[in-house]
Copies of this chain bind each other. A is one copy, B any other.
């Protein structure tokens, strides 16, 4: 197919559904920002932005999340492209959505050049967003729910040392289900890459819980041997 210039006048954007888990109030939260510029200046949206023609999307996602949260390294995966012709008032803008997971305690929310007043919202109290960002959010949340059961993503949302009650509550909150405590723990006991740190939780009111650690190296060795993660 010949490529007349008229094809080269679309724009690419990324939008990031950034999730964090708040142990304090046991809520899954999503990061929303107020748009600094038109269209929809001042209104709530997912963090994101247009991508330079020579910029990689991974780079764009890193920059966006880092500029808002201050975090350097975090889990991210592409969800899918959102391509409705009329999704953006300024022209043809295809948005590639990313699911990002961060640890709340590493986050330092700051205004950036394109995102003011970033804030965490419990996923079930999310206000309406601009563009098709409600749809993107729903799709990303479904992906998170799906992937949480088959990939070790929970550990991206917790501190490197965590307790089993914390882990179980995280699963229950994100998946909106209940797990039997003993069955849940038995399943984890088979996962050799979840290690007892021999430490216990500090500063808690009653019996302190043991702290565990997710060993990424052991997990990737296990995975190469064909062992699958499943909750």
Contacts and interface: CB of A to CB of B under 8 A. Distances in A.
Interface size classification for chain A: 35 or more
Interface string A30-68: 000001110000000000011111111100000000000
A6 B53 CA distance: 8
Contacts of A11: 3, 7-8, 10
Contact of A1 (B3, B10, B37, B96): B37
A50 B7 contact: yes
A91 interface: yes
A83 interface: yes
A141 to B, nearest CB: 18
- Looking at chain A's contact residues, the main secondary structure is loop
A91 B1 contact: no
A35 to B, nearest CB: 8
A57 B83 contact: yes
A170 B11 CA distance: 41
Contact of A92 (B6, B36, B53, B90): B53
A57 B80 CA distance: 13
Identical chains in the assembly: 2
A25 B96 CA distance: 39
Contacts of A35: 1
B80 A3 contact: no
B84 A81 contact: no
Q: Which 6 A-B pairs have the closest CB atoms?
A: A53-B92, A81-B81, A1-B114, A7-B50, A7-B11, A57-B83
Given A8-B9, A54-B92, A94-B94, 19 more contacts: A1-B36, A1-B49, A1-B114, A2-B37, A3-B11, A6-B52, A7-B11, A7-B50, A7-B53, A8-B10, A9-B53, A10-B10, A10-B11, A10-B12, A12-B94, A56-B84, A81-B81, A81-B96, A83-B96
22 contacts: A1-B36, A1-B37, A1-B114, A2-B37, A3-B11, A3-B37, A3-B90, A6-B52, A6-B53, A7-B12, A8-B91, A10-B10, A10-B51, A54-B85, A54-B92, A56-B83, A56-B84, A57-B81, A80-B81, A81-B81, A94-B94, A94-B96
